[in-house]
Amino acid sequence: MAGENIKMSKEVKILGLIIDDKLTFNSHVAQITKKTIDLFKRVDRAAKTTWGIHPEITRTVYTAVVEPITLYAAAAWAPAGKKLSVQAQLKTIQRKFAQKIIGSYRTVSYEAATVLAGLLPLDLRLKEAAALYETRKHGTLPELKDIEVEKKVPYTEGPHPAKALRTGYTQLHTEEEIAAIETETKIFTDGSKIEGKTGAAVVLIDDGKNKTKKYKLANHCSVYQAELLAINSALEVLGKSGKRQAAILSDSRSALEAITSTRTKNRLAHEARKKIESCREAGQEVQLYWVKAHAGLQGNEAADTAAKEAALNLKCKPHYNTCPISYVKRLLREKSKAEWQTRYQNSENASVTKIFFSSPEQAYRAFKNGRLTNKLTQMLTGHGGFSEYLHRFKCKGDPTCPCDQQSTQDVRHCLLECPRHALARLDLEQVIGTGKITMEDLSQELRCTTAPAIK
């Protein structure tokens, strides 16, 4: 071309994704690793074990920066995540941040660090991101069988921005404000999810008489969907009634915000906007109101009771069955957690951590409020100021405890046997309310996050 020979390239970068001629994506993973390790070095300079930025800030950096960088274009290169070489590089990234979050020694294993930090393995997050993309694109997921996934309304189905419906809603807080509404019909709507079941209801108040309509949603549907379905049903009731004026009152601000927004892509909200427009074209005036939930407002309480009854007692085919993306995310996360649990149990590492936590879920519940300290981390991993650990890494001549020069000083000895910690052990036994303390007692107490004596 123009007198120059066009050479073949072994890789090309398209929109930030490096594609090689054999589709191994090794170059892309290597670039991700280099980029995130450079970022870690910057964090490492400002976050040390006992001083510097708080571990939760490091967690925020990992969640908001490192994961998005790593998972970029996950749907394209996710199959490469099955290779052990790629998993090893992802572990290198995650291990460094996990160790920094829990304030551990660098010798702590990947399995122990990620479990105590509550970080799902990156290769599992990669699979999640890819599966979620495919679900959003095709609207199906094997685990859902024949259930359709809720998809966003494409731009081609929406109105031109210049012709988009302009509407809003008014906030009401008291019965007096509701009574002051000048309209011939008031329609209260509500949605409810109780005992894993979902329902919606519409209560129409006309001339002092109440008419209630109940709707059943599939169990996987969300409260948000139920609230939007209730508003849609209220608009249908209004359209059939022939009333010239009506006020629709809902206690879901998120549903009302979606309906009144010109940028909404939710299908139920989109349908509600079209119904409002149809009502206005037919000469019916529709006003939207937000009312405070569980404030003793008569109409709202009636709608709430009816929605709960619809969820629990209505025996019929669901009026709405589309699965929300939030439920898909929950399914994918449960699948990832089950695989993580299997890996953790089958791993030869984290033997001390497994004494206290038999599953990642237990560790997450114990430390989700940020109660993990660097001293507690040493105890939970066995990597700390113990003679057994220091001897293993040739930092001390023998592994025995100074208390008798015979017993090996490890986690179990310090917690249960060493006389040098007898007073602290006695205080802990009084807090727990048991006799002689055992490792099972400590594990149970730690899982309940009520172990103030462990320092």
**Domains identified in the chain and CATH numbers:** 11-144 (no CATH), 155-322 (3.30.420.10), 348-447 (no CATH)
> Count of CB atoms within 10 A of residue 268's CB?
24
pLDDT tens digits, one per residue of 237-272? 988 887 888 999 999 999 999 999 988 899 999 999
Rounded (10°) CA dihedral 449, 452, 453, 455: 90
Structure-token pair, residue 38: 């450079």
In the sheet with 169-172, reading across from the earlier edge strand, the strands are: 169-172, 285-291, 245-250, 185-194, 197-206, 209-217
C-alpha to C-alpha distances, 79 to 19, 30, 84, 316, nearest whole angstrom: 13, 16, 12, 42
Residue 225 has pLDDT above 50, yes or no: yes
Residue 455 has pLDDT above 70, yes or no: no
Q: Which secondary structure element, helix H or strand E, spans residue 27, and what is its range?
A: helix 26-46
State the average pLDDT over residues 158-177.
87
Residue 454 has pLDDT above 80, yes or no: no
Q: Are 77 and 28 in contact (CB under 8 A)?
A: yes
C-alpha to C-alpha distances, 266 to 71, 136, 151, 222, 259, nearest whole angstrom: 25, 13, 8, 13, 9
Q: Tell me what the pLDDT averaged over the chain comes to.
A: 90
Residue 86 has pLDDT above 80, yes or no: yes
- Contacts of 442-449 with CB under 8 Å at 24 or more apart are 442/356, 442/415, 443/355, 443/356, 443/357, 446/356, 446/357, 446/366, 447/356, 447/357, 447/362, 447/365, 447/366, 448/366, 449/365, 449/366, 449/367, 449/369, 449/371
How does DSSP assign 208-260, residue by residue? TEEEEEEEEE-TT--HHHHHHHHHHHHHHHHHHHT-SEEEEEES-HHHHHHHH
Confidence of residue 452 (pLDDT cuts 50, 70, 90): very low
How does DSSP assign 150-167, residue by residue? P-PPPGGGSPPGGG----
